[in-house]
Amino acid sequence: MSVSLRAAVYRWLVRLLVVDFGALDWSAMGVTRPDRRALMEGVGGAIWAVPVVFVTGIVASILLSFVPVEPVSPLPPTGSTIGFALSLLTGGIVAPFGEEVLFRGFATTAWVRGRGVVGGVVLGALVFAFAHVLTISGTSAGDAFGQAFVGCAGRVPVGLALGWLFIRRRTVWASFGLHAAFNAILLIVAEATSRST
């Protein structure tokens, strides 16, 4: 429920503070109606998920070798079919759409205009990664810091890939496809692993 609410708030804030004030319109942010072209862009983006998961896994492994913490998933395995289906819906569709509207459609578009493509994509990736660790806690301050560091740094590669794809394709649907497929792969692997142990 909180993931769905957060996604709705992201979209509402972008509309209220950006679109309604005329700073950017939806099309300038790459947000178009979900039509056949949007579907094709989403599928094209989803194709990038496997290599991005692979690179992110390597980065996470390296980080964990230096900062040995137990990573915590924002959507942990549920152990039930209904729970897993709900996790896939929220983590694979709802959250990625809200985050792509905010972090790529609005933020990256604005930052690219002000800082250039490289600066905008990098800043978008860093803010995206940082936003994902704001609620991390741990058994101690050191544990919490370690988890936040690994969680943030481990999300930078996917943030960079999402920004690059968004700028390259000029549509939020491409980055949404990558984000949705990336999250879905991680959810499926986590659920399968938890059921096999």
Residue 105 is given by DSSP the state I
Q: Residue 114: which of 175, 24, 9 has the closest Cα? A: 24
Q: What is the pTM of this model?
A: 0.92
- So what's the pLDDT on residue 44? 97
Q: Are 96 and 115 in contact (CB under 8 A)?
A: no
**Residue 167 to residues 10, 26, 29: CA-CA distances in angstroms?**
20, 15, 10
| Count of the separate structural domains present in the chain | 1
Q: Are 159 and 129 in contact (CB under 8 A)?
A: yes
- So what's the pLDDT on residue 8? 86
Q: How far is CA 11 from the centre of its chain?
A: 15
The Cα–Cα gap between 159 and 155 comes to: 6
The Cα–Cα gap between 6 and 158 comes to: 20
The Cα–Cα gap between 183 and 163 comes to: 16
Give me Rg for the CA atoms of the chain.
17
The Cα–Cα gap between 62 and 130 comes to: 19
Domain around 89: 2-196
From first to last of its 197 residues, the chain has per-residue pLDDT tens of: 577 788 888 889 999 989 998 999 999 999 999 999 999 999 999 999 999 999 999 999 999 999 988 877 777 788 888 989 998 999 999 999 999 999 999 999 999 999 999 999 999 999 999 998 888 888 888 888 999 999 999 999 999 999 999 999 999 999 999 999 999 999 998 888 887 76
- So what's the pLDDT on residue 197? 67
